[in-house]
Structure 1
């Protein structure tokens, strides 16, 4: 599944939103993301500069729930089932 992060949503919030949508469950039913990845570090990697360009060009990949999650600097998330 390809998911586009809303401009005002942090990457960590977007991951939760995307997985809850795929699983068709409320976000509160998912395990805490911070037990899988440092959410502050994830958000800091892809925080935009004042001109809205990303600080880093690239992506991060990690496992969460039953998915391999790819968070890209361009605002896209990709969820792959294992």
Structure 2
């Protein structure tokens, strides 16, 4: 293909750099599993092929950050950003998990 090829798209679509998944705080799945699911979706791989995040993040501590407190109840208005390998993960208290590629290639 060359610059004179009229069948080529003028602006090819860039690869997806962000994906969003929702964590169910009442479900059986840990927040770490939801994060792995989001990374797998963005990387277009099976979740089993995502490197273990447990070396970077303690899953129990991660879950406890958003647990309800006795004094104020739920913590649905907070958020947390963590780097996981080549991804930036933002976890919102409402269960929204946004995964962004940190690779700028």
Same fold (TM over 0.5): yes
Instruction: Name stretches of at least 5 consecutive residues in structure 1 with no aligned partner.
Output: none
Which stretch shows the higher mean deviation, 4-13 or 38-47? 4-13
SS of corresponding position for 1:18: helix
**TM-score, length basis structure 2:** 0.64
Structure 2 residue aligned with 1:66: 86
Structure that is richer in helix per residue: 1
Residues matched between the structures, number: 79
Counting only pairs closer than 5 Å after superposition, residues 38-53 of structure 1 correspond to structure 2 as: 38-48=58-68
Unaligned runs of 5+ in 2: 1-18
Relative contact order higher in (CA < 8 Å, ≥ 6 apart): 1
The TM-score, its normalising length taken from structure 1, stands at 0.79
Aligned-pair Cα RMSD in Å: 2.0
SS in 2 for 1:60: strand
Aligned positions of 1:1-82 closer than 5 A: 1-6=19-24, 7-8=26-27, 9-48=29-68, 54-55=74-75, 57-82=77-102
For 2:76 and 2:95, the matched residues in 1 are separated by: 12
